Structure 1
Amino acid sequence: MKRRTLTSFRHLSFAFLSFYSVQSPAESGNKFGPILSTEIINPRQNVSFCHASTIAYRDGNLVAAWLAGSKEAAKDVGIWVARFSGGHWDDPVRVADGRSPDGEALTTINPVLFSPRSGPLMLFYNRGKLPADWHPLRITSLDGGRTWSKPTALGLGLSGPAKDKPVQLSNGIVISGSSTEDDGWSVHFERSVDGGTTWDVVYPPVGSHRVQAIQPAILDHGHGHLQALVRTKSGFVFSTRSRDWGKTWSGLSPLNIPNPNSGLDAVTLTDGRDLVVGNPLPYAEGKWDRHKLSVFISTDHQTYRNVLDIENQANHEFSYPAVIQSPDGLVHITYTWEKIHIKHVVLDPKRIRTPRQTLLLATVR
């Protein structure tokens, strides 16, 4: 009887510890929470519209880029870059616009920074207002984002990264999550074996029911095992997997992360856990509710827990996150704040406990 009682107590203790350790990080503002700092990257930028940020780590500094102009899809929307050095963000600099070679003014779409292990820092983006007319371009920087090259077009049939950063695998192969929107939503991948100079297109299989999906975020589970999480119109984030270094991919299947047709990003942490940032809200046709921005963690690459709400304010917008983990282990998240600023949040993932860690703690005790 005593043994049964003790066992029951241990189960209850584990359940309590699991619940507490997963939920407590959401209480931001306490000195033990995972949020180390929050700041606006571009507080003095004199524009009416900002959106679609991206972030990278290069030469010991952070580099961020985003869209800014008079309004979304306007011809004056260009790409701005800022560097974090000396403990602060430098003033943003406009590095690209949508002007075509013949001088026609067009808008720019979704900048994406990529920092390969060798070679220049890369910034991908699209020029053109309608998806059928998007032209994928790339500029590069040899000095950590201070100065940039002139734009060059990607190869024929390529789309470039749709929103989220490419990932370089342990064998040097680079995988980029891409998508098209001109003939229904469809995801694909672009794979480079030369560090991002040239690319091949890879398509996942399409099941009996085609999922309207775009903007894959790549997770690297090691040894050639990959996962991509995608934005959908089906109410949830969907996932596809590869077991051969991105050569082939499975069909899309749903995860337990709500998605209101909103961009997300993800990163595999150095401790093996997956961290996802997105808007976990219901999907409603024709509506754009992005008032809540949250962090999810998974220890099994399949089940995700909401461990932290970065923003949660009705009738406001916090969207299009980008996330990386810097060499010091900290997680950096940038996102659109009310479409008038870009915000930067720094997390310590060691302060985000998950059931696997809690199980070890309960066993030791």
Structure 2
Amino acid sequence: MPINSLTEYPDIQLDFRAAPKTEAPVYLAQGVTPLAQAHQGAFIRNAQNQLLYVSDQHAYLSSDEGETWQAFSLFTQAQKLAVTNSHSLLCTHSGVVLLSFVNTGDYHFNWRKKTNKPTKSCRLFHYVLRSLDGGKTWQEPILIQTGYAAVASTLIQLKSGTIVLSAQNLDYLAARHYSLSFRSLDEGVNWQASNKLDIGGRGHHGGCYEGALIELRDCVWFCIRTNLDYFWHAYSYDDGQTWTKLAPGIAASSSPAMLTRLQSGRIMLLYNTVYPQGKTEFARRGGQFSEVAASWQREELAASFSEDDGLSWSAPVVLAQCKGAWLAYPYAFEVSAGKIWVTTLQSKLRILVDEQVILKSLLQTD
């Protein structure tokens, strides 16, 4: 991996409530600056061109590009519901706003060390919410699946109008996670599950999970986290009803990807590489985590770009680096052409990425 130069930003303060704490400074690449935005993604625009994000039990709308925000309740007081940080938002072609999330208002996880298996009481249910007025009011929650669903990070609408969301669940007997998706043909009212994607393994972070979705020219791509030093790639040729053509894909650490189609037509992949730039080793985790000892390299957040709809990719460029930190679980939002808000769930990094400057730096390092 080519080494790109990084500049120290001592004023950036990370949040370590969901990640290891470090005193190391944050470094950013050329073309990356701190984001003057105090909130975390996912962000979208509604049909009224307002910015929208959600947190916990509220939706927030901005009519001034994020300068100020107005809060709206997602749930009634009687509902035992709260939105996890790992969720996804979509404004459909007709203007319906959808929120895919797992409910931290009723959550339990217990992994027995002696048996290396979860208890049957583990639960984290997956829901969808619909709003017909851009996010001000919300309909009754729609239960997508029970079990331990953990993450709901991607929600897309295809050219056909079909809506597809990424999902996962826990196989309690096999003691690992598997992936699947759900699709809707009626603007998110009803949902049908796809086939399950299971690559084996064992452990509370075993299996394949935390997948990202994007539509390509002739199919839908599901890019799924594994512990095997690469993403697992699956493809659907029937609008997310079934997943076929399963294969190992892009090299990556045991961390999720985010895929974004930019206004330029390029696809941007945000992820954590197997090793930090310039290195060939990194500490690994196994045992109760996973059957295979995996790299959890998250101190560098990288981006790769594809000009040909995912057939080939640029070398990864490190956008941000902080020794010992977890800059992982990224969200991307193109607020204007070539200007991308990138935030991370872990450590709450917030940066502004300039697509053209990053592409120029890639040419200089090739």
Q: Give, in whole Å, the separation in 2 of the partners of 1:242 and 1:345.
A: 32
For 1:345, the equivalent position in structure 2 comes to 352
Greater CA deviation, 284-293 or 153-162?
153-162
Cα separation, partners in 2 of 1:334 and 1:113, compared to 1, 3 Å: same
Secondary structure of 1:352's counterpart equals helix
Q: Give, in whole Å, the separation in 2 of the partners of 1:244 and 1:86.
A: 39
Q: 1:269 aligned to 244, 262, 267, which one?
A: 262
Q: 1:295 aligned to 297, 303, 314, which one?
A: 303
Instruction: Give CA deviations for 1:164-195 in whole Å, capped at 9, x if unaligned.
Output: 23111111111211111353110111111122
The 5 A counterparts of 1:7-22 are: none
- Counting aligned pairs with the same residue, the percent is 16
For 1:221, the equivalent position in structure 2 comes to 216
Instruction: Note the C-alpha offset of 1:197.
Output: 1.9
Instruction: Note the C-alpha offset of 1:153.
Output: 2.8
The 5 A counterparts of 1:161-310 are: 162-183=151-172, 184-203=176-195, 206=198, 212-223=207-218, 225-259=219-253, 261-282=254-275, 284-285=284-285, 289-300=297-308, 301-310=310-319
Matched, 1:332 2:338: no
Instruction: Note the C-alpha offset of 1:96.
Output: 4.9
For 1:69, the equivalent position in structure 2 comes to none
Counterpart residue identity of residue 167, structure 1? I
8 Å contact from structure 2 (residues 256, 271) kept in 1 = yes
Unaligned runs of 5+ in 1: 1-18, 43-50, 67-77, 359-365
8 Å contact from structure 1 (residues 221, 272) kept in 2 = no
Secondary structure of 2:134's counterpart equals coil
8 Å contact from structure 2 (residues 171, 178) kept in 1 = no
8 Å contact from structure 2 (residues 197, 208) kept in 1 = no
8 Å contact from structure 1 (residues 25, 33) kept in 2 = yes
TM normalised by structure 2 equals: 0.68
- Which structure has more helix as a fraction of its residues? 1
Instruction: Note the C-alpha offset of 1:55.
Output: 1.9
Q: Give, in whole Å, the separation in 1 of the partners of 2:323 and 2:248.
A: 26
Counterpart residue identity of residue 239, structure 2? W
Instruction: Note the C-alpha offset of 1:229.
Output: 0.8
For 2:107, the equivalent position in structure 1 comes to 129
Q: Give, in whole Å, the separation in 2 of the partners of 1:349 and 1:148.
A: 38
Cα separation, partners in 2 of 1:290 and 1:151, compared to 1, 3 Å: farther
Instruction: Note the C-alpha offset of 1:326.
Output: 5.1
Matched, 1:85 2:51: no
8 Å contact from structure 2 (residues 35, 341) kept in 1 = no
Cα separation, partners in 2 of 1:342 and 1:163, compared to 1, 3 Å: farther
For 1:63, the equivalent position in structure 2 comes to 52
Unaligned runs of 5+ in 2: 10-28, 110-121, 276-282, 290-294
Q: Give, in whole Å, the separation in 2 of the partners of 1:281 and 1:95.
A: 40
Cα separation, partners in 2 of 1:130 and 1:215, compared to 1, 3 Å: same
TM normalised by structure 1 equals: 0.69
Q: Give, in whole Å, the separation in 2 of the partners of 1:165 and 1:86.
A: 26
